[in-house]
Amino acid sequence: MVISSEFSNGAARAAAHSVRIIGGLWKRTHLPVLDMHELRPTPDRVRETLFNWLGQTLDGLVCLDLFAGSGALGFEAASRGAARVLMIERQLRIVQQLRRNQEKLAAHTVEIVHADALNFARGLAAGSFDLIFLDPPFAADLLEPALNVCLPLMRRGGAIYIESSRPLTLGKPLILQTEARAAGNLPALESAQRMGWSVVRRGRAGAVHYHLLRHLASQDRDILPFEGETA
pTM: 0.81
Would you call the peptide bond into 136 cis, given omega within 30 degrees of 0 as the criterion?
no
- The predicted pLDDT at position 36 comes to 82
pLDDT at 77 > cutoff 90 = yes
Average model confidence (pLDDT) across the chain: 81
Asked if CATH classification 3.40.50.300 holds for the domain at 17-221, the reply, yes or no, is no
| Residue-level pLDDT at 197 | 81
Residues 6+ apart with CB under 8 A from 74: 63, 65, 68, 85, 87, 110, 133
- Helix residue spans in 55-135 (DSSP H): 72-79, 92-105, 117-121
Instruction: Tell me the one-letter amino acid at 149.
Output: V
The per-residue pLDDT for range 191-214, each reduced to its tens digit, is: 666 667 888 899 999 989 999 998
Q: Is the pLDDT of residue 222 over 70?
A: no
Q: What is the pLDDT of residue 186?
A: 52
